[in-house]
Amino acid sequence: MTTDLHHAPNAQYDCLHDLSYANTMALACIADTVVTLTSEAQLDHFMASYTDDSELNSSLFVLSGGSNVLLPTQLQATVLRPDMRGITLINQTQDHVDIEVMAGENWHDLVIHTVNQGWYGLENLALIPGLTGAAPVQNIGAYGVQLEDRLQYVRAYHLPTKTWHHLTAADCKFGYRDSIFKRTPNTWLISRVGFRLHTDATKVLASYGDVQTVAQRYAKLQGRGQLTPIDVMHAIINIRQQKLPNPAQLPNCGSFFQNPIINLSLFTSLQSIYPNIVGYPMPDATVKVAAGWLIEQAGLKGGGIKPIITHKKQALVLTNHSPYQATQADVLAAQNHIINCIYEKFAITLAREPVWVNADGTVGYGEHEV
Ligand SMILES: Cc1cc2nc3c(=O)[nH]c(=O)nc-3n(C[C@H](O)[C@H](O)[C@H](O)COP(=O)(O)OP(=O)(O)OC[C@H]3O[C@@H](n4cnc5c(N)ncnc54)[C@H](O)[C@@H]3O)c2cc1C
């Protein structure tokens, strides 16, 4: 396809772009058009030319680090890739700092940067892959912290109306791995995220799993008697490296299934059969069950349908053993197999976490989704 570069003089334009290396699941994917945006002005320029009768009237799909997407083999869409950079200190008081971060900043690098500056609060979210602009989409969370706990606002472009918006944390309607951005796909492009972080080095959240033990070991090695956010960050990096496969070595997109929330009566009856079932009571008398435990109990740890296999250490992670060749169809086959097995054994339907991208760039379900 030929494209008139005058539409967006400064944006980098690529036609028939290979995205197989731009998604951590390493699924084979060729996109019609990819537009890399290094400034908000480039997005304005580009969108001015994006009209119903222009040759670029395919769907718009926003792709950042590609760590939470399942891409189709042929993506007949215009893929917008936010690559705006910058971290700005907006305000500093004795006990907190307000910073604004551009969408293209790598998330983990941001966490390290803030902790090194003595700005704390993001350390529990260390080593989550992807870019900052994507973090609000599923309200990333780990080790007791969710993005919404630190986020103040988002600056985002509303694609259908071509207008810029300032959304407060309340406007984002965050939930567990959820937000307005996730619920209305192909609608927003987040360009900046505002955070409020604290400067109290004694305030740490290290009660999850073995974080405390590992953090204490690290603090001791550094000659510190009391835990600091730096120790927590190092502990979390260390634990995650032990537990999760590195997508650069074994392609994956993190947790593949959400932890299902079931009613108490089902949980109680399952508990009578499986006394070790792992569940966390929720405030509304439901129970969140560990999806990884269900998969492991069903004998599917290290199983699946080749080349998509659950990880041998972490059953919740589906890994791709045929990088750059496996396709969405392979993922769907393995996913449906696991969902069916779990349903037959526990009467629980697992839901997928990563975003399924259709061939036309819309977001939805697989053709043979169960
Ligand atoms: C090994 C591994 C571990 C992980 N661990 C965690 C974890 O602990 N907790 C957790 O919550 N997640 C985790 N994830 C999932 C993933 O890293 C996060 O969801 C991350 O925020 C996705 O960022 P990304 O830049 O890769 O987004 P992408 O995969 O590129 O995009 C994800 C979705 O966001 C949309 N999007 C992307 N950028 C923008 C933007 N600027 N504006 C609007 N929409 C946008 C896309 O259209 C898509 O729908 C993990 C993934 C992997 C591979």
Say how many Å lie between the CA of residue 289 and the centre of ligand 1: 23
CATH code of 122's domain: 3.30.465.10
Residue 368 lies inside a defined structural domain of this protein: no
Q: How large is the average pLDDT for residues 177-206?
A: 95
Gap between the Cα atoms of 182 and 172, Å rounded? 10
Domain that holds residue 260: 252-356
Q: Going by CA atoms, what residue is nearest to atom 15 of ligand 1?
A: 68
**Phi (first) and psi of residue 78, to 5 degrees:** -100, 115
| 98, 209: one domain | yes
CATH code of 306's domain: 3.90.78.10
Of the residues 82, 107, 132, which one is the last residue of a structural domain? 82
Residue 364 lies inside a defined structural domain of this protein: no
Say how many Å lie between the CA of residue 7 and the centre of ligand 1: 29
| 94, 239: one domain | yes
The angle formed by the CA atoms of residues 146, 181 and 329, to the nearest 5 degrees, is 95
Please give the number of the atom of ligand 1 that sits closest to the Cα of 63.
Answer: 30
Of the residues 196, 217, 243, which one is the last residue of a structural domain? 243
Number of domains observed in the structure of the chain: 3
Could you report the per-residue pLDDT of 244-263, keeping only the tens digit for each? Answer: 999 999 999 999 999 999 99
Tokens at 57, concatenated: 């009237």
Whether residue 4 has pLDDT greater than 60:
no
Residue 197 lies inside a defined structural domain of this protein: yes
| 205, 289: one domain | no
Quote the percentage of the chain above a pLDDT of 90.
Answer: 88
Whether residue 22 has pLDDT greater than 70:
yes
| 201, 217: one domain | yes
Whether residue 292 has pLDDT greater than 90:
yes
The angle formed by the CA atoms of residues 326, 332 and 334, to the nearest 5 degrees, is 85
Probe ligand 1: pick from 27, 70, 128, max atoms within 8 Å of CB?
128
List, in sequence order, every residue forming a beta bridge with 155; answer none if it has no partner: 166, 192
Q: Which residues are catalytic?
A: 177, 255, 353
List, in sequence order, every residue forming a beta bridge with 255; answer none if it has no partner: 317
Q: Going by CA atoms, what residue is nearest to atom 14 of ligand 1?
A: 254
How is 171-235 classified by DSSP, letter by letter?
TTT-BTTB-HHHHSTTSEEEEEEEEEEE--TT-----STTHHHHHHHHHHHTT-SS--HHHHHHH
Residues with CB under 6 Å of ligand 1 are 24, 61-69, 82, 103, 128-131, 133-135, 137-138, 140-142, 181, 185, 188-190, 244, 247, 252-254, 355
Please give the number of the atom of ligand 1 that sits closest to the Cα of 82.
Answer: 41
Q: Going by CA atoms, what residue is nearest to atom 50 of ligand 1?
A: 254
Q: Is the peptide bond before 136 cis (omega within 30 degrees of 0)?
A: no
Q: How confident is the model at residue 7 (pLDDT cuts 50, 70, 90)?
A: very low
